[in-house]
Homo-oligomer: A and B are copies of this chain.
């Protein structure tokens, strides 16, 4: 298995993306000057942090007007761009491209279309040019034809060996330290924390418990078609080509309700794909909190919003203030971005 894409294979589009957004080497940050550094230690002492703390304190204050029973303290988090980075593209797509190349090396005949040959060659221009249909083909070629167990073993091996093309870090170290602290803080205050992501549920579950402390059943994501098959007497769950459900945009509230059967009181996202999840969450009765992570930090991570092909944030930026959503300014509100600095 190849650890990471060869940087020399990065095509102009990808290179331009990376150059445009920039990415400096990791640097250690000064510790927070925040008031109570025992929680949310990587959050600066700004109004953003204060609003989050105020919310949590208000819903946990027994007898208070805003008290919420522990069973109703449900918090949902997008993953790509909210809990970990999503540049140059969603990390799951980088896994898929590596997997297509690997399969093509083992058997070139599987590369039977332009988009699969482009993926195998690391030609991200060709991948992007093939649009949604091409993407679906890559996902089918990399995510199907194996059992769920085999797929997850493959993802685990990839996460263990692959490195991010510009930071050189394992992908699981490109999670946001302040968000890890927020998850801990919420759970310490009786919240159940869930992932609700457009990413694949089988992909995310491989690392969600270890990295985020979120167990498999609290991971909600897109789902590929899966079938039950008895192979040589052994019952298996087979990943088939095709998507059963896309957990994005208006699909997020649908999936949350179908899976949890409850309306969250806190939702955090970073792109317009999270808009409906935040809208539905914060329109409920009683205290509610919507959080948008705004990627403003070209030095430590990336800076992008309205024009970005990945993680586009446009409507959310326009409406956050009137809707009372907390807009997290990564550059200002976070004293540290990644667990290992930066």
Contacts and interface: CB of A to CB of B under 8 A. Distances in A.
Contact of A262 (B217, B226, B279): B217
A283 interface: yes
Contacts of A219: 261
A262 B215 CA distance: 10
A259 interface: yes
A217 B257 contact: no
Contact of A235 (B223, B235, B259, B276): B276
A140 interface: no
Contacts of A217: 217, 259-262
Given A235-B283, A276-B228, A280-B228, A223 B253 contact: no
A217 B261 CA distance: 6
Nearest to A221: B258
Given A276-B235, A280-B235, A258 B228 contact: no
Given A228-B280, A276-B235, A280-B235, A216 B254 contact: no
A237 interface: yes
A146 to B, nearest CB: 14
A250 B226 contact: no
A119 interface: no
A205 B148 CA distance: 28
A30 interface: no
Q: How many copies does the complex hold?
A: 2
B237 A254 contact: yes
A115 interface: no
A253 B228 CA distance: 7
A19 interface: no
Nearest to A201: B258
Contacts of A215: 71, 261
Given A219-B261, A259-B259, 16 more contacts: A216-B262, A217-B259, A217-B260, A217-B261, A223-B258, A226-B254, A226-B257, A227-B250, A227-B254, A228-B253, A228-B276, A228-B280, A230-B279, A234-B283, A235-B253, A235-B280
14 contacts: A201-B258, A215-B261, A217-B259, A217-B260, A217-B261, A227-B250, A228-B254, A234-B283, A235-B276, A235-B280, A237-B253, A237-B254, A237-B280, A244-B245
Q: List the 7 closest A-B pairs by CB distance, nearest first.
A: A216-B261, A228-B250, A235-B280, A217-B260, A228-B253, A235-B283, A226-B254
Interface of A: 71, 148, 201, 205, 215-217, 219, 223, 226-228, 230, 234-235, 237, 244-245, 250-251, 253-254, 257-262, 276, 279-280, 283
